[in-house]
Amino acid sequence: MLFQKNNFLKAASHENGISRRLFLGYAAALYSIPTIGQTANIKHRMKFASNPFSLGVASGDSNSTSTVLWTRLAPEPLDPNGGMPNLAVPVKWRVSTDGNMKNIVASGQQLATPQLGHSVHVTVGQLKPDNWYWYQFSVNGEESVVGRTRTMPKKFASPEQMSFAFASCQSLEQGYFTAYDSMAQDELDLVFHLGDYIYEYTAGNQGTIRKHHGKEIESLSDYRVRHAQYKMDPLLQKMHARCPWFVTWDDHELDNNCADDISEQKNVKPVDFLIRRAAAYQAYYENMPLRRTSIPSGPSMQLYRKGSFGQLAEFTVLDGRQYRSNQPNNDVRSPINEAALNPGSTMLGTEQRNWLKQSLIQSRGTWNIIAQQVMMGMVGTSNNKNSMNYSMDQWPGYTHERMDLLRFMEDRKISNPVVLTGDIHSNWANELRTDDRKMDTPTVAAEFVGTSIASGGDGQDRIKNQDKLISDNPFIKFHNRQRGYVKCTLTQKTWTTDYMVADKVTTPDGKITKRTSLVLENGSSTIQQA
């Protein structure tokens, strides 16, 4: 796996520092691993028995003048090495202003190396702002499909409209990716994927609609194969080729409900979990259209970042797993008690939290999008003692930090903050307050929570206790438990959110319809029916 020895201290350290014992253990484990600086021999001519572009193409992290183009050579995608030799292979790429690839405006060649799983990440610069482009890869006469991408408007431009979708949670064992087929028919400027792109469990653990390959994944080879299995899905490939994506992880890209160097499983040493994390992070980078700034260093990877769509919207993409404290109350639903209110507990870590605040202060966007993983709305459920319990893995488990962020947005009068959330396999629309239990206080932000692409199976429109759930939590303005995705359309005056749901995902013939549309007006975090 990738490992830059000169950056070891930075790579292995975490929010609260690293002990000498953990440092030495991790260093010993990684001593023999190849470094990123090592160069493989180059294979200039290579014949492929099958399609080397079996995992498709993608683009992402676009700004006003550049974008990242991605592919990964894998003629045998379920082989740990993708069926590729331990040699670097030159891959050609080209960018055109038309889908027929006639008017080429940029082209080049990049090595696909075994150190990076023969993935290719091309940063194409000097492009025109607010323009659509088409791109294609080729290697030794084999050509990829043509992908479509775009640049963002200039920072000070004032575009009339922006359209995007966000998605999360796509267990292939529990359903088909029907939502992506519908999403590909929408005219979208970009997609946010909010995590759980893959699931780590052993084959058959979650369902039988389709079946994972192999045991629970832990090694770099394991993670590579699992990513490849997901990338082989034709509907996912289709959507990746339609527009740029901005991705972030949640927990299942590594391990369920993980927190920093703490595994969900008991008796896992931090040093062992960091080794697993390094493997997961490298495989994630290899399979996503990310900039070189996100190349991992051992168990550390820079994933939080920001972007803009002119002055219409600015967005921050957060990492809610790598720097977080352990979940309080043993990660069991609990009241908002002293542990949940601990000012030392953090989901974001000090550095990322300060960066987020600074980004919000500096933003010139009419709408400020915060794309992240777990629900910020303080949704409580009553127990037999008539007290309210909350998820400790979600923001209520980090109530002090949550209140601090929302108070900051309120005090600094941040323009139209809107939180986008995944994780929970259901649709929600929440009006956020500094403390959601105090309904007599002003709303500060809106939160749109998107359901899963496939995780959880077909789902249902309503749950039997839904009226009580909303009565107990009156800040909830919409709730639904079908599968699907969320589409958002922004103008200077309004934000419209369309909840797109599938009637079923357990068979490949499901249909997508619009379940409801909700609207925000510029200057208000009150959620209204369209």
Same domain, 125 and 63: yes
Q: What pLDDT, on the 0 to 100 scale, is given for residue 384?
A: 67
Question: How far is Cα 308 from Cα 390, in angstroms, rounded to an integer?
Answer: 34
Same domain, 227 and 130: no
Residues 6 or more apart whose Cβ sits within 8 Å of residue 429: 446, 447, 448, 449, 476, 477, 478, 479, 497, 518, 527
Same domain, 114 and 251: no
Q: What pLDDT, on the 0 to 100 scale, is given for residue 381?
A: 94
Same domain, 142 and 171: no
Question: How far is Cα 313 from Cα 523, in angstroms, rounded to an integer?
Answer: 14
Give the domain extent around 473: 162-529
Q: What CATH number has the domain bearing residue 260?
A: 3.60.21.70
Strand 313-317 and strand 388-389: pairing? Answer: unpaired
Same domain, 77 and 215: no
Q: What CATH number has the domain bearing residue 145?
A: 2.60.40.380
Residue pair 53/142 in contact (Cβ under 8 Å)? The answer is yes
Residue pair 46/134 in contact (Cβ under 8 Å)? The answer is no
pLDDT along the chain (530 residues), means of 10: 47 48 48 45 83 99 99 98 97 98 98 98 99 98 98 97 99 98 98 99 95 97 99 99 99 98 95 98 99 97 99 99 98 97 98 99 98 99 83 99 99 99 99 98 99 98 95 98 99 99 98 99 98
Written as one letter, the residue type at 311 is Q
Q: What pLDDT, on the 0 to 100 scale, is given for residue 385?
A: 61
Q: What is the DSSP string of 409-426?
A: HHHTT-SSEEEEE-SSSS
Same domain, 166 and 100: no
Residue pair 108/122 in contact (Cβ under 8 Å)? The answer is yes
Q: What pLDDT, on the 0 to 100 scale, is given for residue 1?
A: 56
The DSSP symbol for 390 reads B
Same domain, 184 and 324: yes
Q: Which helix (H) or strand (E) holds 21?
A: helix 20-30
First to last CA, the chain: 49
**Residue 139, CB-side half-sphere exposure with 13 Å CA sphere:** 28
Same domain, 130 and 236: no
Question: How far is Cα 257 from Cα 394, in angstroms, rounded to an integer?
Answer: 10
Same domain, 257 and 393: yes
Number of domains in the chain: 2
Q: What pLDDT, on the 0 to 100 scale, is given for residue 383?
A: 72
The b/e string for 360-397 (b: 16+ C-beta within 10 A; e otherwise) is: beebebbbbbbbbbbbbbbbbeeeeeeebbbbbbbbbb
2 falls within a domain: no
Q: Report the SS3 class of residue 395.
A: helix
100 falls within a domain: yes
| 150, 180, 198 - which closes a domain | 150
Same domain, 222 and 86: no
Same domain, 128 and 172: no
Q: What pLDDT, on the 0 to 100 scale, is given for residue 30?
A: 44
Q: What pLDDT, on the 0 to 100 scale, is given for residue 58?
A: 99
Q: What pLDDT, on the 0 to 100 scale, is given for residue 46?
A: 84
pTM of the model: 0.94
Same domain, 144 and 171: no
| 150, 172, 195 - which closes a domain | 150
| 128, 150, 172 - which closes a domain | 150
Q: What pLDDT, on the 0 to 100 scale, is given for residue 45?
A: 82
Residue pair 78/87 in contact (Cβ under 8 Å)? The answer is no
